[in-house]
A and B are shown apart, each in its own frame.
Chain A
């Protein structure tokens, strides 16, 4: 197993465009998390899936953000009508049990110009 994979690694987009990121978790992990990290800050929780069910969404996740995890496998995070404030590193993580902690991917760095 190669760990948690995120694509693309970098994305530059113009303000107002839509972007979609993909996360492939470790295959036996049923829990999948999205976090956002801005410069000088720790990762902030966005949303959480257990299998295909989205169980929790942060208030940080505005209506422009949507996440899916079809069939409980990979997940996508879409941002519509991007704004400059969306520029950040978007991190995906997965876990099998909570006490194991999370395994993080390398992240997708989004720059909105």
Chain B
């Protein structure tokens, strides 16, 4: 079975500082990994994905994520946080031929 863990309910960071939102996964075989962001009363917006290849993937709005197979992790990062990055972030995993399974989400608060 596929599963995703986001160990932090909330991450607080000061504007301009680097941010990390953690994600670990459990899936047999090679995973497809995704990050989505959700603003209040809105659907989910795609940020980035890892399918294969380079372990460091770059996505929208300056976000990036690093796939670590040995640690089964896919942490979301940004070198310099903005107040406008404050939102709810979801990590998701997919096994080929299956559907997306989401983590419980992490609230990111960026303070000025």
Q: Which residues of A contact B (CB under 8 A)?
A: 4, 6, 33, 40-45, 48, 56, 91, 93, 98-99, 101-107, 109
Closest to B96 in A: A98
**Interface contact A42-B105, CB-CB below 8 Å:** yes
Contact with A along B23-63 (1 / 0, CB 8 A): 00000000010101000011111100101000000000000
Asked if B102 is an interface residue, CB under 8 A from chain A, the answer is: yes
The residues of B that contact A103 with a CB separation of less than 8 Å are 46
Q: Which of A91, A104, A105 has the most CB of B within 10 A?
A: A104
What is the CB-to-nearest-CB distance from B51 to chain A, in angstroms, rounded to a whole number? 5
What is the CB-to-nearest-CB distance from A66 to chain B, in angstroms, rounded to a whole number? 19
With A42-B104, A44-B102 already in contact, 12 other A-B pairs whose C-beta atoms are closer than 8 Å: A42-B105, A43-B44, A43-B102, A98-B32, A99-B32, A99-B49, A99-B51, A102-B100, A104-B44, A104-B45, A106-B43, A107-B42
- In the assembly, what is the distance between CA of A56 and CA of B98, in Å? 10
- In the assembly, what is the distance between CA of A101 and CA of B42, in Å? 18
* Residues of chain B in range 90-105 having any CB-CB distance to chain A below 8 Å: 90, 92, 94, 96-97, 99-105
**Interface contact A107-B105, CB-CB below 8 Å:** no
Closest to B48 in A: A101
- In the assembly, what is the distance between CA of A6 and CA of B42, in Å? 11
Asked if A41 meets B99 with Cβ closer than 8 Å, knowing A91-B44, A107-B42, the reply is: no
The residues of B that contact A41 with a CB separation of less than 8 Å are 104-105
The residues of B that contact A48 with a CB separation of less than 8 Å are 99
The residues of A that contact B44 with a CB separation of less than 8 Å are 43, 91, 93, 104
Q: Which of B32, B43, B92 has the most CB of A within 10 A?
A: B43
The residues of B that contact A6 with a CB separation of less than 8 Å are 43
